[in-house]
Structure 1
């Protein structure tokens, strides 16, 4: 059977690279769905006659969809396999993207963004579960770093592509392109993705067992520590994602294209962080790599808050943000590997929880960025600082101090 072959035989180098490209592309649906429309925030507000906070609410709705979707789709993939749920979700993603294109009001757009996020979550949770089906230990870390290389291209290319689309057409074109990408990936998954979860490894229980599995994961102090650390670091990143379109373009007066360039530079930092982690995984203990990443991102957060308070030039805002985003590649790669190491029998559910918290925390932090209006960056800096301090504390208290 294809499932047995995919799950038990090692991949050749060429097959490994192609699998990383495919799974990385699926995992990229999250950042792609989030980032590509960011340069459109001001134009969406103007076109739909709404406020910046309501446009940011469309981002929150997407994040809630990404969080809730993983909670549902992860356990389903443990019971039904990886490929079938992935194809159904991609079909729903195409439909939701088309609804975004023709949204007549901000509230319809918000609802459509929730559906878009819910369906996009399958790419994140299932791609991670497939990786765990195929690898364990340091090989898991190394392959996940390779996955992050492909996945990291989305934060670079998505806002740049969104800025280019805005030069040629309106924000509706952004969602039209996302619908075509979803259709392309649906065909690709149908043709190329093998089933990696063998029948004997599939969960047979229903909703009750799923809830109990989540309960067992939460009771696992070490797993919870890694999950919370990763989730809080990502909460800070979503504050940055939600705040910088208005901070950069509104306060500092840069164009949509310059904003896209600055956003893309941080995406390069994300790739550097994840690849450096993959290279060091076999040399330095992963817990040490994680701790270093948490220390660097917390220090950079303190510097960012100081620069915001003294109203420093844009360059002194951009530099600490670069280090904060770069450390995401370090923290997410190590947290995922360390948390999933002993979760083979419940990889889908564990992957779902690891994917849930970043978007759940992000859905909370993103709208708070705009509470003081569009003319201050203080809420953004404060949320990033609190989130990263919390991540460091969770690691120290739940993992290192166990």
Structure 2
């Protein structure tokens, strides 16, 4: 086995590079030995829309941080306390780092683990949350492996569907979580803010849940075309001045039952203001779009944004139109998804072809590790592709 590890590393705003680092060790960020951990050889490691917050400088991380939090790979080394995994297992790595031992983990709230980050009850790979090294690399360390890792039941079956399974680490469970928090069920009308990869996963998951009319709003026609050809209604937000009017033109009513914000704090305005960043626009958009008594899911990233021209937003304080929302008795839920709460069921849905349209919605392009910096630049410009990095050339059929 090699003693080196090539990885995508953040060197500053819009400056990603592929560096050669030391091979990962079975130890925590604080240097403590981790016999409960494993080393994973990455087979598919994706570029996420959340990574663009880092790329653009709106989510601060230290220079030299290894990127990536969407990882699928093969176990190649196990710690002495690992009992239920073995070398050769193909696994999905949830982006939340969770111990499995604290109160929140034992209650299924792995997105707010109380022990893995000494600064806040939340840890994640490649996000400056607990110091855990990201997975846009050849190899990575995963702690608490027996608890954290989702092992695919059949290796050959997993490799046949690896590109769909590759989204189980984040964007598909995140999309599903937003819908569940918004109360989506059979027959629901749904508004999805954002047609990026996570919003497109939201469209697939809404169909899985039996939603009736699924409306997706975005500014890029090539993204909207992907969801349109898979049975969704669409709104080009650069061409409308009122979201409620646009929804009414589709449904006959200005409101939907459920709405989800998949955009976060880098949203833009409507119509003539489409080129202007309106950091709190997406969250206000879904609040406006939801009917009285309905519910919203807020899974877009809303942290302190050092690039915002608004001083309050640099401190993580955003302006909400809560007066108009309050009178509708809304149910509002936000935050990261507890990936482990959903990933097994979603894996089974993929393995048994309950989302056969997922690949078409995602529009995946498999790239090499060396192509990742350019993929970041293209994704930043609004590319409709979902970039999946193949560090070892393990996905020749997909390429």
Q: State the TM-score bracket (shorter-chain normalisation).
A: under 0.3
Give the number of the structure with larger relative contact order, counting CA–CA contacts within 8 Å between residues 6 or more apart. 1
Larger relative helix fraction: 1
Structure-2-length-normalised TM-score: 0.26
Larger relative strand fraction: 2
